[in-house]
Amino acid sequence: MTVTDPPPMVSHPPQRWRPDRSVITAIMVKDITAIRRSKAIVLPMLLVPGVLLIGLPAGIALFAQTRASPDLSGLLANLPASLAHPIAALPSAERMIVLVNGYLLAPLFLVVPLMVSAVLAADAFAGEKERRTLESLLHLPVRDQDLYLAKLLVAFVPTVLLSWLGFVFFAVISNAIGWPVMHRLFVPTTLWMILILWVTPAVASLGLGIMVRVSARASTTQEANQLGGAVIMPLILAAVGQATGLLLLNVTTVLGIGLIIWTIGLWLIRGGMLRFDRDRIASRL
């Protein structure tokens, strides 16, 4: 062949990306259908929230009903005064339920969005490579941004919905089983609501942002979970250590902390989007 110069092309101005809803929906429906059928994903997704948000609060509330009230004075003495004093002022039967279900379970609650988003994101991104389905997807007329957004939503939406649903269960069970002792609704508090509606999605975005980055380097879901776990576990421990404190702070501070987590999460996600490039992905297949 003698042709060495490309034929002239009609130049088109670069088009601004607008999300293609039908494409995004189709990918989400596909992935969610597949996830629902995967025991390896569904079991941990249900088991961890089940234990943390249903089993534990129910157990604590039942324990408070059936046993003589334990002496919490030693424990309360080690808590910040701003938390300990209101609890100490309660009738002795109510102290344990309020302390555990109202405050101490809060950090564990944040484990749910972090963990679930990580599991789903690993399946959405690294799982596609592991199942060797990514190349056929790349050969379809799906824009990189639509694919990326669909994968994000596949992990983010179920995570937030599951966390919220878990919290509804937590609140209903805590109040129902605690009713004979408390005789009133004691969760959610205002700060709990901020934690649920503002901090939880932020934590989900953080878990997602981390796993998007990690999955780009991993070739299997297991590898992504291992790499992601190395980053996420310290975060979980930090969350456990710090979130009780969140409930002691005022509304503005908790909103601010949520904003910081959102910022980091979105920064990681945006970075992932910039790196989510067909050529880069196909080069690693």
Partner 1 sequence: MSEPAIVCAGLRRVFDDGLALDSLDLEVQPGTVLALLGPNGAGKTTTVRLLNGILRPTAGWSRVLGLDPQTQGHELRHRTGVLTENAGLDDRLTARENLMVTARLRGIDPRTARVRVGELLERFGMTSHAGQRCQGYSTGQRRRIALARALISDPELLFLDEPTSGLDPAATDDVIDLIDSLAKDRGRTVVLCTHFLAEATRVADQMAILNRGLLLVSGSPRELADELWPEIELQIELEAPATESMLDALARVGGVCSADATPAGATVSITDRQVTPAVIDAIVSGGGRVFAALPTERTLADVYFAYEERLDPVHRGLRAADAPTNSTILEQASA
Is 100:174 a contact under the CB 8 Å cutoff? no
Question: Contact between 1 and partner 1 (CB under 8 A)?
Answer: yes
Question: Contact between 172 and partner 1 (CB under 8 A)?
Answer: no
Residue from 51, 73, 135, 255 in contact with partner 1 (CB under 8 A): 135
Cα 224 to Cα 199: distance, rounded to the nearest angstrom: 24
Helix, strand, or coil (residue 256): helix
Question: Contact between 13 and partner 1 (CB under 8 A)?
Answer: no
Considering only 62-70, 129-137, 162-170, 195-203, which stretch makes contact with partner 1 by CB under 8 A? 129-137
Question: Contact between 124 and partner 1 (CB under 8 A)?
Answer: no
Q: Which of residues 31-50 bind partner 1 (CB under 8 A)?
A: 33-34, 37-38
Task: Rank residues 105 and 281 by Cβ distance to partner 1 and give the closer one.
Answer: 281
Cα 257 to Cα 113: distance, rounded to the nearest angstrom: 16
Question: Contact between 270 and partner 1 (CB under 8 A)?
Answer: no
Within 10 angstroms of residue 242's Cβ, the number of other Cβ atoms is: 12
Considering only 49-57, 58-66, 133-141, 203-211, which stretch makes contact with partner 1 by CB under 8 A? 133-141
Question: Contact between 85 and partner 1 (CB under 8 A)?
Answer: no
Q: Which of residues 139-168 bind partner 1 (CB under 8 A)?
A: 139-143
Which residue carries 């599991």 as its tokens? 119
Q: Assign residue 183 a region (left: φ > 0; alpha: ψ between -120 and 50; beta: otherwise).
A: left
Considering only 44-52, 97-105, 126-134, 253-261, which stretch makes contact with partner 1 by CB under 8 A? 126-134
**DSSP output for 16-82:** PP---HHHHHHHHHHHHHHHHT-HHHHHHHHHHHIIIIIIHHHHHHHHHHHSPPP--HHHHHTS-HH
Is 174:97 a contact under the CB 8 Å cutoff? yes
Question: Contact between 21 and partner 1 (CB under 8 A)?
Answer: no
Nearest distance, CB of residue 6 and partner 1, angstroms = 4
Quick note: the x/- pattern for partner 1 over 201-230, rule CB under 8 A, is ------------------------------
Tell the burial category of 216 from Cβ atoms under 10 Å away from its Cβ (0-12, 13-18, 19+).
Answer: middle
Kindly list the residues in this chain that would bind partner 1 in the complex (CB under 8 A). Answer: 1, 3-7, 9, 12, 22-23, 26-27, 29-30, 33-34, 37-38, 131-143, 278-279, 282-283
